[in-house]
Amino acid sequence: MSNSHAVAVQEHQDHHAGHHEPGFIGKYVFSKDHKIIGIQFLMTTLLMLLVGGALALGVRFQLAWPWRAMPLIHTLTGGLFGSEGGQISPEFYTMLFTMHASVMIFLVIIPILAGAFGNFLIPLMIGADDMAFPTLNMLSYWFMWPAIFCFGLSFTIGGLNAAPANGWTSYPVLSAVVDASPSAGAPQTWWLIGLTFVGVSSMMGSVNYMTTIINMRAPGMTLFRMPLTIWSMFITAILQAFALPVLTAAGFMLVAERTLGFKFFVPGNLVINDGAPTIGGGQPLLWQHLFWFYSHPAVYIMLLPAMGMVSDMLACKVRKPIFGYKPMVYSMAAIAGLGFIVWGHHMFTSGMNPALGMTFMISTMMIALPSAVKVFNWIGTIWGGKISFDTVTLNCVAFISMFIVGGLSGIWMASVPTDIYFHDTYYIVAHFHYVLFGATLFGCFGAIPFWYPKMFGRKMNDTLGKLHFLLTFIGFNGTFFPMHMLGIAGFPRRYADPYIHPYMEHLLPMNRFMTLCAILMGLAQLILIYNFVSSWFIGERASRNPWNANGLEWTAPSPPGHGNFDIAPICYRGPYEYSSPLNPSDDFLMQTDQIVAR
């Protein structure tokens, strides 16, 4: 009797979910469930994070002990990668930093924000039971793998010891003429194809996000009741939708130039590697314009979602409404808009029309404005809050602090005359690592423990989290803050052995210090991985709303079943009603709570 009743309930729930249980493959591999897909993205990107980090350590090692036998390189690659007598070859160094950048940008930061958290959070936060196009969503994940495959292939193709060696920007002529760089032939081409796959993947994602956010919001979830995370995802999606085609087109042009002999970027009469003089009237700057027209907005693609998530976490952690919700939204929109008209500041020294230089400088200066507003708003949010210091809070605060540094150092870049000096020195490296690693990754390191309970129904270990944060923070600043000094000292990027230039010899000890810090930081990530995996099994079980947060996602069971919500949510107010006087009993007021009249 009771059994049959239970069965009945079971069936009823299944029916409510509108599906019947798919098999293992359908559920965990080619799943169309946005949560699974999000987690798949998360796993993949964390894996890639380790890969990229290892490559970075290789770069750091060469800078600290130039031409010293690189640890593990022989054990791991069996003496491949053109090393003789244990010492690596300069072209291998160029491959190292090229692939580091490619992996970190295209396989870690973009997918971890839009892919992992975007997928997982959007439907939950807007109270939808899944994405608008589940199949498209699944594809957007599985298109990552061709990209990873192509990048990997680019490493191993061409005699097992050539990878793209033209920097992640792969400026022509170097990248367009096959003989110009060690990545002769295939690797660079494969890299470009991989890039296209990444583009396709994020394009699918962005279309999906836009549709979902516009059409599938829960009743009562007006645009200005959406959490900032959703806003940031929405804006990011728009950015991607508009910027990506340009990169894809440029990529195809470069592939055509390399393989089919088109002449878009290579001018005539260049003699490269004792070859015949090149023919044709291409223009190298064309690539730079096209590339940066995507890649500058991409910087914000890599940043905005983190901003959104940090806003949400911060509000919850300080038990306070966001200070100036609408200004936050507007500033994000402003950043996105301006982001399209500042790409030229990557080209101040490239010899483009100086008038352009001025306009781009002004627009670039202006884009600092919304960023400033956001910073002030965050500080205002913390102002007068009741803060519980755990991993999440620490990471969010680190995010703000690092973002301040990265943003401020950007002002030198924005002002053309100083950029003339700082362009392509380590100052740039410091700047974008502070923004991309310092801001974005700290944001993610906060977001992972914050939404972990919702993903796996368990909490992550807070002690380990704090330890991981501490080591990462110290290692990070130890590694990247000195880079400002290097940049001021005129230390150019992408030098395998800068110390053959007399004016840089004295910077070696500093580089040794930075490398040690980098090693520390690299090892610290193992803690994160361990914590992530172990908490899955031994973590403390989490309730539906472990942080007493307001968002819709916290009304769903953790982890949410298929179809997310067992009770269809209705939204009554904005997401940041913490410590609202309307709820005397508790210091939070969920978006779904009706006010109890009394």
Q: Within 51-70, which residues bind other proteins (CB under 8 A)?
A: 61, 64-70
- Give the binding range for other proteins (CB under 8 A) out of 123-131, 244-252, 300-308, 524-532: 524-532
Residue 144 vs 460, nearer CB to other proteins: 460
Question: Measured between alpha carbons, how far is 344 from 10 in angstroms, rounded to an integer?
Answer: 59
Among 142, 149, 171, 252, binds other proteins (CB under 8 A): 171
Site residues for other proteins, window 552-581 (CB under 8 A)? 576, 578-581
Site residues for other proteins, window 309-368 (CB under 8 A)? 318-325, 327, 349-351, 354-355, 357-358, 361-362, 365-366, 368
Asked if 268 interacts with other proteins (CB under 8 A), we say: yes
Asked if 259 interacts with other proteins (CB under 8 A), we say: no
Among 6, 256, 387, 595, binds other proteins (CB under 8 A): 387
Angle, CA 404 vertex, CA 403 and CA 406 arms, to 5°: 60
Residue 53 vs 123, nearer CB to other proteins: 53
Residue 205 vs 321, nearer CB to other proteins: 321
CA distances from 122 to 234, 399, 527 (A): 9, 22, 28
Q: Is 564 helix (H, G, I), strand (E, B) or coil?
A: strand
Asked if 279 interacts with other proteins (CB under 8 A), we say: no
Joined tokens for residue 533: 């995996």
Asked if 238 interacts with other proteins (CB under 8 A), we say: no
Asked if 84 interacts with other proteins (CB under 8 A), we say: yes
- Give the binding range for other proteins (CB under 8 A) out of 11-19, 115-123, 404-412, 433-441: 404-412
x/- map, 86-125, other proteins, by CB under 8 A: xx-xxxxxx-------------------------------
Shortest Cβ distance from residue 6 to other proteins (Å)? Answer: 39
Asked if 144 interacts with other proteins (CB under 8 A), we say: no
CA dihedral (70, 72, 73, 74) in degrees, to 10, reads: 110
Asked if 219 interacts with other proteins (CB under 8 A), we say: no
SS3 sequence of 173-221: CCCCCHHHCCCCCHHHHHHHHHHHHHHHHHHHHHHHHHHHHHHCCCCCC
Residue 47 vs 366, nearer CB to other proteins: 366
Shortest Cβ distance from residue 366 to other proteins (Å)? Answer: 7
Shortest Cβ distance from residue 86 to other proteins (Å)? Answer: 4
Asked if 245 interacts with other proteins (CB under 8 A), we say: no
Among 30, 133, 376, 536, binds other proteins (CB under 8 A): 376
Question: Measured between alpha carbons, how far is 135 from 84 in angstroms, rounded to an integer?
Answer: 49
Asked if 77 interacts with other proteins (CB under 8 A), we say: no
Per-position b or e across 168-184, b if 16+ CB within 10 A of its CB: bebbbbbbbbbebbbbb
Residue 32 vs 374, nearer CB to other proteins: 374
Q: Is 344 helix (H, G, I), strand (E, B) or coil?
A: helix
Residue 492's beta-bridge partner residues? Answer: 425
Residue with tokens 């395998």: 496
Distance of CA 490 to the CA centre of its chain: 28
Asked if 173 interacts with other proteins (CB under 8 A), we say: yes
Site residues for other proteins, window 19-38 (CB under 8 A)? none
- Give the binding range for other proteins (CB under 8 A) out of 23-31, 289-297, 407-415, 545-553: 407-415
Joined tokens for residue 101: 């950048």
Asked if 467 interacts with other proteins (CB under 8 A), we say: yes
- Give the binding range for other proteins (CB under 8 A) out of 13-21, 28-36, 124-132, 418-426: 418-426
Residue with tokens 């109270």: 127
Residue 11 vs 586, nearer CB to other proteins: 586
Q: Is 271 helix (H, G, I), strand (E, B) or coil?
A: coil
Asked if 151 interacts with other proteins (CB under 8 A), we say: no
Task: Give the number of other CB atoms < 10 A from CB of residue 208.
Answer: 24
Nearest to residue 440, comparing CAs of 299, 239, 292?
A: 299
Question: Measured between alpha carbons, how far is 552 from 91 in angstroms, rounded to an integer?
Answer: 52
Nearest to residue 346, comparing CAs of 296, 302, 290, 408?
A: 296
Asked if 447 interacts with other proteins (CB under 8 A), we say: no
Angle, CA 337 vertex, CA 139 and CA 407 arms, to 5°: 95
Residue 493 vs 544, nearer CB to other proteins: 493
Cβ–Cβ under 8 Å, residues 471 and 520: yes
- Give the binding range for other proteins (CB under 8 A) out of 12-20, 116-124, 147-155, 270-278: 270-278
Site residues for other proteins, window 475-494 (CB under 8 A)? 477, 481-482, 485-486, 488-490, 492-494
Shortest Cβ distance from residue 376 to other proteins (Å)? Answer: 4
Asked if 500 interacts with other proteins (CB under 8 A), we say: yes
Per-position b or e across 33-52, b if 16+ CB within 10 A of its CB: bbbbbbbbbbebbbebbbbb
Cβ–Cβ under 8 Å, residues 150 and 190: yes
